[in-house]
């Protein structure tokens, strides 16, 4: 009967696996479709932005031309930048002002060409010119794409726009027909044009490189976001699968995760108060059994309130993490380090003697000095430290050990304040000294309260 029961139950994991695989494939396809759709929309947006830029450039050229045409052309001094236009064959093209200044007539086409020639490659991201299948000026002859666009205008089309390569660069190109107006006949009647004829087109080219850079960054962001989303989805599927397979294992994993979060300080990654007290109590018992000593350090980051108030809480958080990093480097991996809250830290150095205190303090001093020598610092890192020794031959309570170290740390901080008040330079940023203070640190730590001190 047991074998029959196993045979009946064995297909269930297989069906579950199939469902999970189908769900993974469905989720992957959904994310892929979403990514593809977003990339398509992004590419359309880049195309539309380039098109809008081309439209603005086109409208600007048309307005310039209309203004010059409405004045019948304008005169400008003849110069190297503005030579006489040999293709403009009209009366009074060149005149001499009363002062002897030579002037030449600037018609709309000449004005548009000069404005567009001011665009510098690498500085201005657009090009533009007027072209025609029958240009007066040979340099205005169309390229291949423009010739096709001009032919389409002859068939009645109103616009051509595309993305293509021009002179080795990718450009968005816009071209619209240029209709002969009455003001145009002054220069172009000799070519047989009549009012209303399409005598060419205005071609505008927008460099795509800047937009492609934006597109690339945005596409990378979209890809990373979708990969992240896909990973989250797989994680959720995995979690649900684990729950369906075994509720017990899931519960144990959740409990372990909660336990780790409960004893870890989120900012520094050190143990928090709860984790430190739990581990320290255990190590005190181990020390008694193994007849080995312990050193407990109580450290305080000096000036945190000033850093927060003056430089901002982000710098304050950075200072807290720097202090934690220095303490990590000072002590061993086997030692217990914790941030008790606010600017207070505690370290329980395992299997030590009183003589180790000098070694640890000197190492801490050296690391703090090295940190303060780094360039570009906005504040000076300073840590006040007090220590107490746990003798396994004469054991004491953890609260008493903490109170003794806290007392010495407080005396160290007060000594720094006195030296500052007396105008004496602080040679030590981390120091260990002795003095007196009410023994309430252990009680305060257990209650989880932090006494604020002003620096």
Whether residue 255 lies inside any domain: the answer is no
Say what the pLDDT of residue 226 is: 94
**Whole domain around residue 148: which residue ranges?**
23-72+107-212
- Both 288 and 393 in one domain: the answer is yes
- Both 41 and 117 in one domain: the answer is yes
- Both 204 and 272 in one domain: the answer is no
- Residue 9: pLDDT above 50? no
> What CATH number does residue 139 fall under?
3.30.450
- Both 192 and 326 in one domain: the answer is no
Whether residue 324 lies inside any domain: the answer is yes
**Integer CA distances (angstroms), 324 to 255, 300, 391, 400, in order:** 27, 11, 27, 24
- Both 272 and 418 in one domain: the answer is yes
Distance between CA atoms of residues 36 and 34, nearest Å: 5
- Both 295 and 203 in one domain: the answer is no
Whether residue 452 lies inside any domain: the answer is no
Residue at which a domain ends, from 195, 212, 229: 212
pLDDT (average), residues 130-140: 77
Of 127 and 302, more confident: 302
Whether residue 16 lies inside any domain: the answer is no
Whether residue 175 lies inside any domain: the answer is yes
Of 122 and 209, more confident: 209
Say what the pLDDT of residue 93 is: 79
- Both 208 and 140 in one domain: the answer is yes
Say what the pLDDT of residue 441 is: 45
- Residue 305: pLDDT above 80? yes
Whether residue 47 lies inside any domain: the answer is yes
Whether residue 234 lies inside any domain: the answer is no
- Both 293 and 437 in one domain: the answer is yes
- How many domains is the chain partitioned into structurally? 2
Say what the pLDDT of residue 448 is: 45
Residue at which a domain ends, from 169, 190, 212: 212
The tens digit of pLDDT for each residue in 238-282 reads 888 888 777 656 776 777 778 788 889 989 999 999 999 999 999
The tens digit of pLDDT for each residue in 378-429 reads 899 999 999 999 998 898 999 999 999 999 999 988 888 888 777 654 444 4
pLDDT band at 109 (very low <50, low <70, confident <90, very high): confident
- Both 206 and 288 in one domain: the answer is no
> What CATH number does residue 395 fall under?
3.30.70.270
pLDDT band at 186 (very low <50, low <70, confident <90, very high): low
Whether residue 83 lies inside any domain: the answer is no
């Amino acid at each position: 009967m047991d074998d029959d029961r196993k045979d009946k139950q064995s297909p269930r994991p297989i069906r579950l696996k199939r469902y999970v695989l189908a769900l993974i494939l469905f989720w992957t396809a959904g994310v892929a479709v979403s990514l593809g759709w977003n990339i398509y929309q992004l590419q359309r947006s880049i195309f539309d932005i380039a098109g809008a830029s081309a439209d603005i450039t086109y409208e600007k050229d048309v307005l310039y031309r209309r203004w010059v045409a409405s004045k019948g052309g304008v005169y400008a001094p003849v110069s190297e930048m503005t030579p006489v236009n040999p293709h403009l064959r009209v009366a009074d093209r060149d005149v001499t002002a009363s002062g002897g200044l030579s002037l030449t007539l600037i018609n709309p086409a000449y004005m548009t060409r000069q404005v567009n020639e001011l665009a510098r490659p690498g500085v201005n991201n657009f090009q533009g010119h007027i072209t025609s299948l029958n240009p007066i000026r040979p340099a205005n002859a169309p390229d291949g794409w423009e010739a096709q666009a001009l032919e389409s205008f002859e068939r009645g089309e109103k616009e051509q726009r595309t993305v293509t390569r021009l002179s080795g660069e990718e450009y968005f190109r816009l071209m619209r027909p240029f209709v002969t107006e009455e003001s145009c006949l002054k220069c172009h009647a000799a070519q047989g044009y009549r009012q209303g004829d399409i005598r060419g087109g205005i071609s505008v080219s927008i460099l795509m490189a800047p937009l492609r850079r934006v597109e690339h960054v945005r596409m990378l962001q979209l890809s990373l976001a979708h990969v992240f989303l896909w990973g989250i989805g797989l994680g959720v599927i995995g979690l649900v699968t684990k729950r369906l397979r075994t509720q017990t294992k899931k519960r144990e994993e959740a409990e372990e995760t909660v336990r780790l979060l409960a004893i870890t300080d989120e900012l520094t990654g050190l143990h928090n108060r709860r984790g430190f007290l739990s581990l320290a109590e255990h190590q005190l018992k181990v020390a008694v059994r193994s007849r080995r000593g312990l050193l407990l350090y109580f450290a305080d980051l000096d000036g945190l309130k000033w850093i927060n108030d003056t430089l901002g809480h982000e710098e304050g958080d950075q200072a807290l993490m720097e202090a934690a990093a220095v303490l990590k480097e000072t002590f061993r991996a086997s030692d217990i380090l914790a941030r008790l809250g606010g600017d207070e830290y505690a370290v329980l150095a395992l299997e030590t003697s009183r003589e180790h205190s000098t070694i640890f303090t000197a190492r801490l001093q050296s690391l703090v000095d090295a940190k303060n020598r780094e360039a570009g610092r906005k504040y000076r890192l300073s840590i006040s430290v007090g220590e107490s020794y746990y003798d396994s031959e004469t054991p004491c309570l953890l609260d008493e050990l903490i109170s003794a170290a806290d007392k010495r740390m407080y005396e160290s901080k007060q000594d720094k304040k006195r030296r500052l008040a007396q105008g004496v330079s602080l040679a030590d940023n981390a120091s260990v000294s002795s003095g007196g203070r009410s023994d309430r640190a252990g009680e305060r730590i257990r209650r989880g309260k932090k006494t604020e001190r002003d620096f």
